[in-house]
A and B are shown apart, each in its own frame.
Chain A
Amino acid sequence: MIISIASGKGGTGKTTVATNLAVSLGKGVQLLDCDVEEPNAHLFLSPVFENTEVVHAAVPEVDEEKCNLCGQCGEICQFKAIVVIGNTVLPFAELCHSCGGCMAVCPEKAIREGERVLGIIEAGRSGDLEFVHGRLRIGEAMSPPLIRKVRSFTKPGVITIIDAPPGTSCPVIASIKGAGFVLLVTEPTPFGLHDLKLAVGAVRILGIPCGLVINRSDMGDDRVREYAEEAALPILMEIPFDRRIAEAYSRGRMLVEVMPEWREKFLLLYERIVELAK
């Protein structure tokens, strides 16, 4: 069972929900932090990493001896990542989407696969929990291939919890596609509501069942609850604003560690997810 935790708006509490749910469930759980632009779950779980792997994207490298400047590579490339100018061929590795088109089309077999570093994957454990995250290289624009690499650690037969990035575009899709359930964490504010609606739209395009966690549930207004009712979105948990929670969070401490009574609530949350995902 794969459960992705998403939100639309950033800073609503995705990581809090993902880490506390994972720790409450304990054994037989893996947490994949797919917010590779700004991974945070490790700050709360202090995992011990056993493996680090550099992840590359395939980019063209041209053998100038073989290249006859026919220009077909530049014609097939949709991303302007390789062009023939005058009597030279210029690959732009940063623009390359790794489609392999230039290599496939080159009649002289003058293009081979080089590499661009996307970032790293670190895998390890935090107590009973299996933990994997990706860290996008600073300056790298494309996160989806690194997200897919983090997801390649998904094991069958265990509970996989994915901490997704904010937003509604391709990195989010890469983090929720194929999940059995999407848990949307929101806050009852106009920004929270607006971005929640977008996120629900994206989740529904994929046809995945979803439900809500309302964080800081006593700040703001009632419009998120009204929308949830209209859109038939089950509210699975509410976390009130509590300065103790916010201060503990600021120090990297887990909610279930500071207030152990929340463990039961997260276990209940999981039971409700399982029911809804059926």
Chain B
Amino acid sequence: MKELVIISGKGGTGKTSFVAAFASLAENKVLCDADVDAADLHLIMNPAVKERHEFQSGHEAIIDADKCTRCGLCRELCRWNAVREDFTIDALDCEGCGVCVYFCPEKAIDFPIKTCGEWYLSDTRFGPMVHARLGLAEENSGKLVSQVRQEAKKLAEARGFELILTDGPPGVGCPVIASLGGASAVLIVTEPTVSGRHDMERVAQLADFFRVPVMVCVNKADLNLDAASDIQKFSEGKNYAFLGMIPFDPVFTKAMVVGQTMIEYDTRSETAQAVVLIWKALQKEMGI
């Protein structure tokens, strides 16, 4: 079984639109949305949720005002200044480390487990999908990413599918690290802008760090053809498989507005055909 993770470094380069287009083209696969704190793939896939699970992770300290003697030890020990002057805890600042709980001489601090989101097993017109929703302002996004990827793997095994298509998060931090470990390959969807280039180099370094093979394609290439060809040269220099370029095309937005993949919206458009070519190059590269 192989897992392709689509990332970008910079947000808004077209990751999710590409995953959706590939969903139209690939057979026998599980779709996985690992961008858990701003998940969008479901807006095109329109999943019918079959199973809904709570995601519990970490703990949260809560002071029992009746037992608290206001000795101040918790305020002294807390490295996040999460204990307010009135001896209540700011849940947004609490890291869940439990140091205050452990040391409180009055045993006045509860430490319940936190529910920080939900994950779902769903059916879509393109096959099964695993997705999630992290609670607002929550932590532990990396753990939720690991959970949805694990569930996608289980589902692929159960169905005998050989491929998982994973929509990754932007950036290079915790959720991206969680979406890279053990992936078969990443596709970096970038754009020919100074920021697109800068961010793809950082996320490619991260993939190198985890020894995940890198493939690259450039979206909106005609906005700056020189920069696009520089990205191609850079990729070839690094031995990343360069899969091709796509022009800037409002068809991505138009398809999104009607809840379709850009392949469904207009298979014959030049841009759709360019995406098909990228998919074929990717299949060859990954041996799928």
Contact = CB atoms under 8 A, between A and B. Distances in A.
Given A166-B11, A190-B257, A190-B259, A177 B92 contact: yes
B177 A251 contact: no
B195 A15 contact: yes
A24 interface: no
A74 interface: no
B224 interface: yes
A262 to B, nearest CB: 18
B229 to A, nearest CB: 13
Contacts of B11: 9-12, 166
Interface in A139-173: 139-143, 165-173
Interface residues of B, number: 62
A40 B209 contact: no
Contacts of A99: 79, 95, 97-99
Interface stretch (A84-92, A123-131, A198-206, A225-233): A198-206
Contacts of B256: 189-191, 220
A11 B38 contact: no
A276 interface: no
Contact of B137 (A40, A143, A202, A252): A202
Interface in A187-244: 189-191, 194-195, 198, 201-202, 205-206, 219-221, 243
Chain A facing B: main interface SS: loop
Interface string B152-177: 00000000000000000111111111
Contact of B13 (A11, A142, A177, A198): A11
Contacts of B96: 78
Contact of B12 (A12, A44, A172, A252): A12
B199 A38 contact: yes
A260 B38 CA distance: 34
A2 to B, nearest CB: 16
A138 to B, nearest CB: 5
Interface string B254-287: 0011010000000000000000000000000000
Contact of B102 (A37, A76, A194, A219): A76
Contact of B253 (A139, A173, A220): A220
B171 A165 contact: yes
B112 to A, nearest CB: 13
Nearest to B40: A191
A169 B59 CA distance: 16
Contacts of A191: 16, 40, 43, 256
Interface in B175-209: 175-178, 191-196, 198-199, 202-203, 205-206, 209
Interface string B226-256: 0100000000000000000000101001001
A133 B16 CA distance: 28
A100 B171 CA distance: 28
A38 B202 contact: yes
Interface string B99-113: 100110000000000
Interface of B: 9-13, 16, 37-38, 40, 43, 58-59, 77, 79, 92, 95-99, 102-103, 134, 136-139, 141-142, 169-178, 191-196, 198-199, 202-203, 205-206, 209, 220, 223-224, 227, 248, 250, 253, 256-257, 259
Given A202-B136, A221-B257, A250-B223, 20 more contacts: A9-B38, A10-B170, A11-B12, A15-B195, A38-B9, A78-B59, A99-B97, A166-B171, A167-B37, A168-B38, A170-B141, A177-B92, A194-B38, A194-B40, A194-B43, A205-B136, A250-B196, A251-B194, A251-B227, A252-B194
27 contacts: A9-B40, A10-B170, A11-B13, A12-B11, A38-B172, A38-B202, A43-B194, A43-B198, A78-B96, A99-B95, A136-B173, A141-B178, A142-B174, A165-B171, A166-B170, A169-B175, A177-B92, A189-B253, A189-B256, A189-B257, A190-B257, A195-B38, A198-B37, A198-B38, A249-B193, A250-B193, A250-B227
